[in-house]
Homo-oligomer: A and B are copies of this chain.
Amino acid sequence: MSVLVVGSVALDTVETPVGRADRVLGGSAVFFAAAASLLADLRMVGVVGDDYPLPELGFLAARGADLEGVVRAPGRSFFWAGRYSRDFATRETLETDLGVFASFSPDVPGGYRDSEIVFLGNIDPSLQLRVLDQMDAPALVAADTMNYWIEGAREALLEVVGRLDVLFCNDDEVRALAGEANLAEAARWVRARGPSVVVVKKGEHGAAVFARDWTFFVPGFPVAKVIDPTGAGDAFAGGFLGWLDRADLGCREDWKRAAATGSAMGAFAAEAFSVDRFRGLRLEDVHARVCALGEMTAFDPLGVPAGA
């Protein structure tokens, strides 16, 4: 199978309590790809400007990722600068320059149209729709979104939601989208509008997967030292969908394992600036974390106490 990601390919300048990185690789498509390319055949659609150091994406190509869909346009690359609070709990955007992304109109290369899994990063819903219109018949369509579109492009976003199998979003985003504080209820609201599964990302608290007849919680893999949480949510989605691709979409058990794989990937993203932690990462490093998550969550609900 294969996974197509469409999203931002950006340069980020990030200040965190433990350091700073200037004009490093960023963007939702890049973080997603860094994780998913370890697991699946990955195809990427995006746009960069004259200034983008495309060779730095070579570690993705070396794993077999197809970057033909990343086009260069005259102008500056999408640039984002942000600063995290002392406890990493909040972040402030210092600068956003859309650059060539302002006129981005994703064209899906002919060879990508048969992709079985599609992930639409949190770009303008009208662009997400444009991508879907170019696809043959993907087996699974997933998207991420953000408060900016929930507030500013609700109608188009709901049209996207209506065409999804899986929506990924943060807990505050799904609450805002549904106008409902209870997470399970908010997820039900979303499911009634299209997706059969809603994956709610909760940062260090992990994620919750809400399907029609089952719910699954995975904690955030505990990170020894957080360096930069930017992109952890996209890496989570990359691990999740990369695993589903590997499992040919699989069954409920594969979806749970997919969530654990996402949690492991999100932690790797946070352990370094940019996608640096993924450069030398091996599949067995991911498996080791998934096994560790298994030990950190498994208990015997039927156990009879010794004293009973």
Instruction: Give A contacts to B, CB under 8 Å.
Output: 1, 17, 86-88, 175, 181-184, 202, 204-206, 208, 214-219, 222-226, 243, 245-248, 250-251, 253-254, 256-257, 259-260, 290-291, 293-303, 305-308
Chain B residues closer than 8 Å to A183, beta-carbon distance = 204, 222
Chain B residues closer than 8 Å to A303, beta-carbon distance = 253-254, 257
Q: How many copies does the complex hold?
A: 2
Chain B residues closer than 8 Å to A218, beta-carbon distance = 297, 299
In the bound complex, do residue B308 and residue A301 qualify as a contact, i.e. CB atoms below 8 Å apart? no
Q: How far is the CA of A223 from the CA of B184 in the complex (A)?
A: 9
In the bound complex, do residue B224 and residue A184 qualify as a contact, i.e. CB atoms below 8 Å apart? yes
Cβ-closest chain B residue relative to A255: B299
A–B Cβ pairs within 8 angstroms, 7 of them: A1-B307, A202-B205, A216-B297, A256-B299, A256-B300, A291-B302, A293-B301
**Residue in B1, B182, B246 whose CB lies within 8 Å of A225:** B182
Chain B residues closer than 8 Å to A181, beta-carbon distance = 17, 86-88
Chain B residues closer than 8 Å to A205, beta-carbon distance = 202, 205-206
**Residue in B182, B202, B215, B226 whose CB lies within 8 Å of A182:** B226
**Residue in B223, B250, B295, B305 whose CB lies within 8 Å of A254:** B305
